[in-house]
Amino acid sequence: MLTLKNLGKRAMDALSGRDRQRRKSLVLSLLVLLAGIAIFTVLKATRPEPPAVESRERVWQVAVTTVQLDTLSPQLTLYGKVESPEVFKAAAPGKGRVSEVHVSEGSRVNEGELLIVLDEKDYLPEVTQVRADVTELEAQIESENLRYASDNETLEKQKTLLELAQAELARAERLEQRNLGSESALDQARQNVAQQQLSLSSRQLNVADHGARLARLEANLERARARLAVAERDYDRSRITAPFDGIVSSLPVTVGNQVKDSDVVLEMYSLESMEVRATVPVIYQQELIAATTEGEHYPASSGDITLRLDRLSGMAGTAGIDALFSIESGSEKLRLGQQITIHLSRPAQPGLAILPFQALYGNDRIYRVNGEQRLETLRIEQVGTIFDRDVEKLLVRGEALHDGDRIVSTHLPNAVQGLKVSIAE
């Protein structure tokens, strides 16, 4: 039988064998790892050298415009609106009904042409009535003059009758003093004198009041004549005619419409008086004020419509000042309120260059391509625009700008001084 001591020894031997096996596996793993590191080191040390990476500067392809300095007339592009100081608004002279309409909106009419007729039954009775009042007052004045003449004639006769009555009274008093006459005869004589004095006083008052009565009647006649003039004017205005050659711009009524006093029934404007109003920017304001003050009138155009700068508005705003253009030709192609583009030609200036708008950076910067194909910044001044082969382009001047300069006409978002470029063929 195995003793306890032998059993312990066998267990220790078994444990020692397993430890040796584990250590052997660990050593083998380390050897494999070291061999792998050694191989990687050898391979890394013996690999071929890669070619060096060469850094290249990016080149931007651009189009250019060659500068040719010349004496040119800058054009200023403005946006105007057609107006007319002669706008005729026909209003109804009173309440009435529209009986005739002879035109339509947009119709071209001639001076004196009948446009609209309001029913005369709404205006003629007033004329007839007031005319009768005038006739009546004229008759009253004539009657007053006849009465005045009659009163003057009667007044002389009443003075004579009063003298006769006074003489009769004197005889009656003498007879009564001699006891030859009666008391009743004396009283009758006295009564006759009193009556004649009363009649004379009444007639004298009538003669004296003639001036006041006549003035009152003449005042009434003047008022009646004024009412007649108004009634006749309203009657005349019920037949609306064109005051000048022009175009009907508005016709808010038709036959049968009822209108009130001062209701606008038609609007028209004159072709001859049409003009165009446009706002001139502040930077050109002083130049145009000086030009118009000296009597200069710059030519302008809008397509085949020719214009001329006539005058400037009397007031200026923060955006500039309004310029008013007279229409030299082509007014028949325009209508009131129409918006048009105006090209105003300013005096010719030397040393100007034509560039496309794409060449401009900010308000005063362009780029020139130098001999090393790099960009150079140039400061310039905008002078205006000009149409080159029906394309609007920019006119500029600058001290550093010369004939033959190649100006970048491709708008680069990252354009800076010294940027490398290539010119597109």
421, with CB counted inside 10 A (0-12, 13-18, 19+), is buried
Structure tokens at 278: 């446009």
pLDDT of residue 181: 60
DSSP state of 51: P
The pLDDT tens digits of the residues spanning 62-112 come to: 999 999 999 998 888 899 999 998 899 999 999 999 999 999 999 999 999
- CA dihedral angle for residue 372, residue 377, residue 378, residue 379, rounded to 10 degrees: -170
Paired strand residues for 100: 117
Query: From CA 249, how far away is CA 425, in angstroms rounded?
Result: 56
In this structure, which CATH number among 2.40.30.170, 3.10.20.740, 3.40.50.970, 3.40.50.1370 belongs to the domain 76-84+274-345? Answer: 2.40.30.170
Report the CATH fold assignment for 124-235. Four Helix Bundle (Hemerythrin (Met), subunit A) (1.20.120)
Per-residue pLDDT at 188: 75
d(CA 169, CA 175): 10
- Tell me the C-alpha to C-alpha distance, in Å, between residue 17 and each of 6, 9, 13: 17, 13, 6
Are the beta carbons of 418 and 374 closer than 8 angstroms?
yes
**How far, in whole angstroms, is CA 308 from its chain's centroid?**
19
Residues of the chain with pLDDT under 70: 1-20, 44, 47-55, 151, 155, 162, 165, 169, 171-183, 185-187, 189, 200
pLDDT at 182: 66
3-class SS letters over 138-168: HHHHHHHHHHHHHHHHHHHHHHHHHHHHHHH
Domain range summary for the chain, segments of one domain joined by + = 62-72+350-423, 76-84+274-345, 92-118+238-269, 124-235
Q: Which of 96, 92, 100 is nearest to 254 (CA)?
A: 100
What dotted CATH number matches 62-72+350-423?
A: 2.40.420.20
Q: What is the pLDDT of residue 6?
A: 59
Strand partners, 407: 65, 368
Q: Contact 404/66 with Cβ under 8 angstroms?
A: yes
Strands (E) in 5-74, as ranges, are 60-62, 64-66, 70-72
Name beta bridge partners: 312.
323
**92-118+238-269 — its CATH code?**
2.40.50.100
